């Protein structure tokens, strides 16, 4: 198993219950922690990790006896939203030297249709000296893990599998079938499997963009988006999406892999990119709304105190990659506001290193003019009603971005706003 992050580790642990597995990651610190039974992603419990028969290593030479490789490394975009395949290419160059005839390499990373055969295959050939499709075979089985979701673990989610030919597809289906209780869906080709994965997240992105646009319209109309969604949701075929900041390493990134490939083939996608523009602009929209509401109450000044609860990209996970709450933090700074940020799950050193943001203890959240409940982690919500009275000054603004609170419980003096 190559890559032991949010996706790779749960897959590797599941495989290790049935097969002989070596877990590889280039991050030595990560390997050291896993050997101690410590998973900073929070996806695998310590007792489960310690009980696993998997061997952990950061030495690629230890993979020499393997003949079935699974690659689960991130596929991000750069600052111009152009797909960045560098980590995938690096993984191929790491695996190549230990490939042997008869090996199968399965990729789980989200890519555009064709990437596995057009990018990964040639890189593996160069690094191994073997012929792709002859000496070794390719496969693709897109990840479907939802970090922090305990109701839909790996084993209960149907797994899409595909191979370079019927023989490799049969083997891949059998291997994954041994760990997936929900069964496998065999795609007709690697390209179909790749397209299916990128479509899944693109669909979610577009639907959330629609909700975000609707929330702006509802705000202008002076009505509650939540109430509108509750009413619309009484129809059997209404799709239940909600507005919010769309970050992370999947929904906010994967559509760009599809649009980039489409443009390469001469087609300019309109709906997908429109959805991306809406979602990427939501942090600025929220910041502008906060400033507008403060100005109306004559509370906008150099001494205005704003606190943000939650900085990770979603609730109940410590992952800060592509967090749009960070964009909100910076947007507020552009208005001359110096926000306080608290998150019980995010790593303080990592937040400082990646974004230059210093997380503070919750004790610093007192007498604030604005509290933004951005990420409703379980730990935050467990004490929110005890914490709010001393967090909020009289007449303060409470921004509940995910409509997580019962606003009827708030004092009349508190301004409440939600997307």
- Of 92, 132, 218, 250, the catalytic one is 250
- CB atoms near residue 363 (< 10 Å): 8
Q: Rounded distance, CA 200 to CA 158, Å?
A: 13
Of 155, 158, 154, nearest in space to 145 by CA: 154
CA atoms within 13 A on the CB side of 237: 0
Residue 250: active-site member: yes
| Three-state secondary structure readout of the chain | CECCCCCHHHHHHHHHCCCCCEEECCCHHHHHHHHCCCCCCCCCCHHHHHHCCCEEECCHHHHCCCCEEEECCCCCECCCCCECCHHHHHHHHHHHHHCCCCEEEEECCCCCCCHHHHHHHHHHHHHHCCCECCCEEEEECCCCCCCCCCCCCHHHCCEEEEECCHHHHHHHHHHHHCCCCCCEEECCCHHHHHHHHHHHHHHHHHHHHHHHHHHHHHHHHCCCHHHHHHHHCCCCCCCCCCCCCCCCCCCCCHHHHHHHHHHHCCCCCCHHHHHHHHHHCHHHHHHHHHHHHHHHCCCCCCCCCEEEECCCCCCCCCCCCCCHHHHHHHHHHHCCCCCEEECCCCCHHHHHHHHCCCCCCHHHCCCEEEEEECCCCHHHHCCHHHHHHHHEEEEEEEEECCCCCCHHHCCCCCEEECC
Query: Annotated catalytic sites, by residue?
Result: 250
């Amino acid at each position: 198993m190559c890559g032991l992050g949010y996706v790779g580790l749960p897959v590797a642990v599941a495989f290790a219950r049935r097969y002989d597995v070596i877990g590889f990651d280039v991050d030595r610190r990560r390997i050291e922690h896993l050997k101690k039974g410590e998973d900073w992603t929070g996806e695998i419990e310590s007792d489960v990790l310690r009980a696993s028969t998997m061997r952990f290593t950061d030495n690629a030479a230890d993979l020499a006896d393997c003949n079935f490789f699974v690659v689960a490394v991130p596929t991000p975009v750069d600052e111009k939203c152009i797909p960045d395949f560098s980590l995938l290419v690096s993984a191929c160059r790491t695996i190549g030297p230990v490939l042997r005839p008869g090996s199968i390499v399965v990729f789980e990373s989200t890519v555009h249709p064709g990437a596995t055969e057009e990018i990964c295959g040639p890189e593996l050939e160069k690094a191994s000296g073997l012929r792709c499709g002859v000496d070794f075979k390719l496969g693709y089985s897109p990840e479907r893990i939802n970090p922090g979701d305990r109701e839909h673990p790996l084993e209960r989610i149907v797994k899409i599998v595909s191979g370079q030919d019927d023989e490799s597809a049969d083997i891949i289906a059998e291997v994954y079938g041994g760990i997936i209780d929900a069964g496998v869906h065999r795609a007709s080709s690697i390209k179909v499997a790749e397209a299916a994965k990128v479509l899944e997240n693109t669909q979610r992105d577009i639907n959330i963009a629609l909700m975000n646009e609707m929330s702006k319209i509802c705000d202008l109309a002076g009505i509650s988006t939540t109430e509108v969604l509750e009413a619309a949701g009484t129809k059997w075929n209404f799709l239940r999406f909600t507005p919010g900041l769309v970050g992370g390493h999947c929904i906010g990134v994967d559509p760009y892999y599809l649009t980039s490939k489409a443009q390469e083939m001469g087609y300019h996608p309109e709906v997908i990119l429109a959805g991306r523009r809406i979602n990427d602009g939501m942090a600025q929209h929220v910041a502008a709304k906060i400033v507008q509401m403060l100005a109306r109450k004559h509370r906008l000044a150099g001494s205005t105190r704003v606190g943000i609860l939650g900085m990770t990209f979603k609730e109940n996970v410590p992952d800060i990659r592509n967090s749009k709450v960070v964009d909100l933090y910076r947007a507020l700074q552009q208005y001359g506001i110096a926000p306080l940020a608290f998150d019980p799950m995010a790593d303080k050193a990592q937040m400082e290193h990646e974004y230059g943001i210093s997380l503070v203890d919750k004790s610093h959240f007192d007498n604030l003019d604005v509290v933004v409940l951005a990420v409703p982690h379980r730990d935050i919500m467990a004490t929110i009603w005890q914490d709010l009275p001393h967090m909020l000054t009289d007449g303060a603004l409470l921004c509940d971005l995910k409509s997580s609170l019962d606003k009827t419980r708030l004092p009349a003096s508190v301004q409440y706003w939600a997307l």
